[in-house]
Chain A
Amino acid sequence: MADKLRTLQNLEALQARYIGTGHADTTKYEWTSNIIRDSCASYVGHNPLLSYMSVGMGDSKEKVRTMMLEKMVRGAGNPPETQE
């Protein structure tokens, strides 16, 4: 029992620390939002990837960077209506 509790506590700690750590009730919306935000953060963080995209789009790197961060704000769009 104690083990189970500890596992649960560990999981909660992980979830608090690392956004995107899943749980049993992760919804599709949460999951896709996470994927999008993780991807965009990775594009911003990996400089070659950012310049690769900026050359493809014909925009400057800073503009592509801002665009990616804006995409992170948006995530997967509006959340679904919750049925109560």
Chain B
Amino acid sequence: MATTSHMFMYSLTIQPPTAVTQAVLGQFAGTKEQQVITASGSKLTIHRPDPTLGKITPIFSQDVFGIIRSLAVFRLAGSNKDYLIIGSDSGRITIVEYVPSQNRFNRIHLETFGKSGVRRVVPGQYLAVDPKGRACLIASVEKNKLVYVLNRNSQAELTISSPLEAHKPQTLVFAMTALDVGYENPVFAALEVDYSEADQDPTGQAYEEIEKILVYYELDLGLNHVVRKWSDPVDRTANMLFQVPGGADGPSGVLVCAEDNITYRHSNQDAFRVPIPRRSGPTENPERKRTIVSGVMHKMRGAFFFLLQTEDGDIFKVMLDMAEDENGQLTGEVQGLKIKFFDTVPVASSLLILKSGFLYVASEAGNHQFYEFEKLGDDDEEVEFSSDSFPADPTAPYEPVFFRPRPAENLNLVESVNSLNPLIDSKIVNLTEDDAPQIYSVCGTGARSTFRTLKHGLEVSELVESELQAVPSAVWTTKLTRSDEYDRYIVLSFTNGTIVLSIGEIVEEITEDSGFLSTAPTLAVQQLGEDSLIQVHPRGIRHLLADHRVNEWPAPQHRSIVAAAANERQVAVALSSGEIVYFEMDADGSLAEYDDRRQMSGTVTCLSLGEVPEGRVRSSFLAVGCDDSTVRILSLDTKNMLENMSVQALTSAPSALNIMAMADSSSGGTTLYLHIGLYSGVYLRTVLDEVTGELSDTRTRFLGAKPVKLSQVSVQGQTAVLALSSRSWLGYSDIQTKSFMLTPLDYAGLEWGWNFSSEQCLEGMVGIQGRNLRIFSIEKLNNNMLQSSIPLAYTPRRFVKHPEQPLFYIIESDNNVLSPATRESLIRDSQVQNGDALSLSPAEFGYPRGTGHWASCIQVVDPINSNEVVFTLDLDDNEAAVSVAVVPFSSQDDESFLVVGTAKDLEVSPPKSKGGFIHIYRFQENGHELEFIHKTKVDDPPLALLAFQGKLLAGIGPILRLYDLGVRQLLRKSQAPVVPSTIVGLQTQGSRIVVSDVRESVTYVVYKHQENVLIPFVDDSISRWTTSTTMVDYETVAGGDKFGNLWLLRCPNKVSEEADEDGSGAHLVHERGYLQGTPNRLELMVHYYTQDIPTSLHKTQLVAGGRDIVVWTGFQGTIGMFVPFASREDVDFFQSLETQLAAQHPPLAGRDHLIYRGYYAPSKGVIDGDLCEMYFLLPNNTKMTIAAELDRSVREIERKISDMRTRVAY
């Protein structure tokens, strides 16, 4: 540990970011089916849209350990498979294909062109591909453009040329697209601004005269050379380009989208311009110009159109008018441009139109939406605006045009994909009295904001719930013959009887002729051989033959059967005397008892026979659990029948056993497992060697307080284990990694469960809960975080929990949005005039906007009982809430008050305001309502508030101030300027306060009670633009910054002790400051780049019995954690695993892993768990190579990796 930090953390992602930077569409599998690839943070995910179900599901996701900046799709001529180009921060261009057979991405080309990192002049920001797949252009924001020629060699493999340069210094690129020119030389269009003259002209005139230019770059394929072919000035405010189909499909050229207008431009065509219609309505500002923020072009059978979206979310359909000659043939000449309102959807970062008639909206904020096209807005009432009435000259004035927004007519929402982005704040508390805490978060922007509860669990859909007359003890389902496709009987066992139900159109009781013994409880039911059934009951075994004959094997006298296990050929029962009797089916279909009985040492509590492996006549193992806390594996081979093969000692008596084959990540195929449930509520899973019967690789999990019951079920085509304790759990293999997952079901606690299969429900389960019989199924295994959301009014900024009640107080504010009061007065005025009011739901259409206005409120949310917003308090006077705290004031007998800090007339950039206020509210009705007490004016917005020793601490600009509650306002008690810039966060323990500054990291301040002074005594040597912090112990603080770093800082021991010395603190005050700061500096313990901006950090536990970990949430919806390492050996192991993985399986986009994690400052004291978990995705031979390098087995490595996660989280 000499050269490294003495603190090590294991960083893991619990939930990857859900914000989509860009989404692209293509036939990546090489079939007709289209897939969607999205880039979110460093994750590249491929989704399959299902047109029949109207759903979109992720099929594979990979972390590329780099920043994905742009994606582009291309296809070589004559091929039917699309390739993906990734523009990232690696300074390299990456071409990737999706391999459907392995469900993996495969990198084909990786060409280095520049420095790594997101830089001004290193290409990667813009990516454009020739529609015929012959060339691509990758460009930077300024100056550099590189053209790569794509081709194929004689083996039909994709080749890539060396880059051709098309640089132009001091030129900024606003947008870029490829032109559709058919098979002529590829042309790329760019929107450029040359600032060289403005930089030389002191009068500023050159700046005023700067033009935005549309430039065509042509790649001459013959000369292998790029030329600037054509350039022409366009609207100065232009920000986007869209490709217009060319060649046989259209006139070619581009649409130039600027503020308030869209222009069609091409080198050999006239320009046509249409304005972007503005919303009309009483609350709309008629002067406000709209810009296009996203859009999509769609081609279909000779026609094409554009759907372009404004920042309000309104989609407009834009079409081109083509000239025709006398014969009605298209001349290829453009006659005009038409625009009309289509529908309104959430503002998108990418819009995709699928051939199957769906629209995928990758939302900028909130859930991603999947729409189905009802129609294409062809013949509706909407007013169409044509370019005929508007001048094409970008400088010529024109009359603005208006439309009326209306509910969607053309699009029908079929699925909303949950997205936490932007995740603004979170709390981790246990309010439901489950064994694990839930994550409460506030997400989204504007009227689509939500309060979300996240819970670890699988979603269950219930099919049947019916109450029975008595409380059943167990339930089974069974087929009648081997060839039955579905289960036919449900057998219910009660304490004194058995009931048989038949499954058909309806489920009904069979009163006669089932052959089952109805006067005794049942221990096991099994379909045996071809067409017979057995029922095991305490007095014997009943063999029901197909011809209604019944063979009964009675238990020996004075003994009863206590446990039974059976499969389709074998039956084993345990007697109360501890004997095991074994039966096997004869060739004639009758049960034959094996001559010898095996005497066990103690009472047998449970038995299990595995299924008969395919092609064999018997399962060769019998697992026997005894009350002496052991499990023994007995052989069932004829050579050594009922002999001991292995034994496993347990911590408690086993309550259930199950041998089953499950998918296994280590071997790649399936492996036989023995699942063991204990009376103590512990569940174990061990590997059962198929030859020797030895047990190895035991993994343990605590499930709950009750004895565990196990049953084999089938979910999504895979064998899974249903484990029941005080909660119900499902053990299954993760769909991607095939590693074993154990997730609780979001369902009532079951006492017994069994597999259930019928025509209506192929893969269901039947369970008992009290006197209820429940039939349910699990539809999704790819999402083990359940979300429920409550809509909020505006963008949430922060929230706090009521000190006792399960209530949350959320402060919300929206910039440039009219407040409810202004809106109402505008509507009232308009009603006076014309009396019509159109109410549009803000959740779909957003709020009316007005520059400089703020809409802000405080909402009280009850996520437990009523699941809704219970109280809303709007702020007036253009105040925006910026901070919130619950403070118990000792001067008021420790009564807690809600304190809200607001800013008046806040301007965000550059930051400016007319001061702020601190509002005090009293909790009424158990916190369900708030009563305003008073507000106190302060000079700057109070961005941080904290309850501190019965008083209120507020960060006002750079000043930390201590307030007490007075009758009319807050009373200043003490204050000190403690940070250089602006206080944005406060944390406390004891008399120590950790103050975070907006750009100067954290400062520790001590409060000297006797002297009533606040003294900063230690700060940081690096400027960190802190977003959120939490104290992990008295000396250490964990925090995140705006650039996406996470860090832990620790105060040196000596400094810490000195600060807390008794006395006046004079020695602290008089100590000489060091380099314009405090006298001391913090030590950096851990540093790590996460890419996502941490918005909240918590030191908490996530699972019952887990250790304390640091959980953080990221702005784009990431939930991650830092797990402290307990031992040095683990650190060494994971460090070498990291090295091996980075070397054997370098990141997809070509970024060096270590450099990526040390983007802003070298990564320190952190093992990247996400990289370690890549091990699961590797092909088997690479796994073995790495395992050999590390001198361990594959299984051991996988176990270590999965233990790191499951021990503390999900």
Contacts and interface: CB of A to CB of B under 8 A. Distances in A.
A60 interface: yes
Interface in B289-323: 291-294, 311
A15 B1143 CA distance: 34
A57 B336 CA distance: 37
A54 B293 CA distance: 13
B210 A73 contact: yes
A74 B292 CA distance: 23
Nearest to B816: A58
Given A37-B120, A51-B1115, A74-B207, A56 B908 contact: yes
B120 A59 contact: no
Per DSSP, chain A at the interface is: helix
B195 interface: yes
Given A52-B1042, A55-B445, A61 B195 contact: no
B953 interface: no
A35 B880 CA distance: 32
A80 B204 CA distance: 10
- Indicate the member of A60, A72, A80, A82 with the most B CB atoms within 10 Å: A60
Contact of B120 (A38, A49, A80): A38
A59 B310 CA distance: 11
Given A37-B120, A41-B119, A59 B311 contact: yes
- Indicate the member of B19, B120, B169 with the most A CB atoms within 10 Å: B120
A60 B1093 contact: no
A47 B1042 contact: no
B908 A57 contact: yes
A26 B1058 CA distance: 46
Interface in B1073-1113: 1091-1093
B1093 A42 contact: no
Contact of A55 (B118, B199, B795, B1043): B795
B251 interface: no
A25 B180 CA distance: 47
Size bin of chain B's contact surface: 35 or more
Contacts of A18: 115, 121
Nearest to B204: A78
A44 to B, nearest CB: 6
Interface residues of A, number: 41
A33 B207 CA distance: 14
B172 interface: yes
Contact of B41 (A20, A41, A48): A48
Contacts of B347: 60
Contacts of A79: 199-202
A46 interface: yes
A84 to B, nearest CB: 12
A5 interface: no
Contacts of B69: 45, 47
Contacts of A46: 67, 118, 1043-1044
B817 A58 contact: yes
A54 B89 CA distance: 22
B641 to A, nearest CB: 65
Contact of A45 (B125, B172, B199): B125
A54 B1115 CA distance: 12
Contacts of B218: none
Contact of A73 (B124, B198, B1043): B198
A48 B172 CA distance: 22
A12 interface: no
A48 B199 contact: no
Contacts of A61: 293, 349, 364
B240 interface: yes
Contacts of B237: 66
Given A19-B169, A49-B1042, A59-B816, A41 B202 contact: no
B865 interface: no
Contacts of A73: 172, 193, 195, 198, 207, 210
A58 B1115 contact: no
Contacts of B445: 55, 58
Contacts of B170: 19
Contact of B311 (A56, A62, A80): A62
- Indicate the member of A45, A65, A66, A74 with the most B CB atoms within 10 Å: A45
A6 interface: no
Given A47-B21, A49-B1093, A60-B347, 16 more contacts: A20-B120, A48-B1091, A49-B1043, A51-B1115, A55-B365, A55-B422, A57-B909, A61-B293, A65-B239, A69-B174, A69-B193, A72-B195, A73-B193, A73-B210, A78-B203, A79-B201
What 3 A-B pairs are tightest by C-beta distance, nearest first? Answer: A58-B815, A45-B118, A62-B293
Interface of B: 19, 21, 41, 67, 69, 89, 115, 118-121, 124-125, 141-143, 169-170, 172, 174, 193, 195, 198-204, 207, 210, 237, 239-240, 291-294, 311, 347, 349, 364-365, 421-422, 424, 445-446, 795, 814-817, 908-909, 1042-1044, 1091-1093, 1114-1116
5 contacts: A19-B120, A48-B1115, A49-B1093, A62-B239, A79-B200
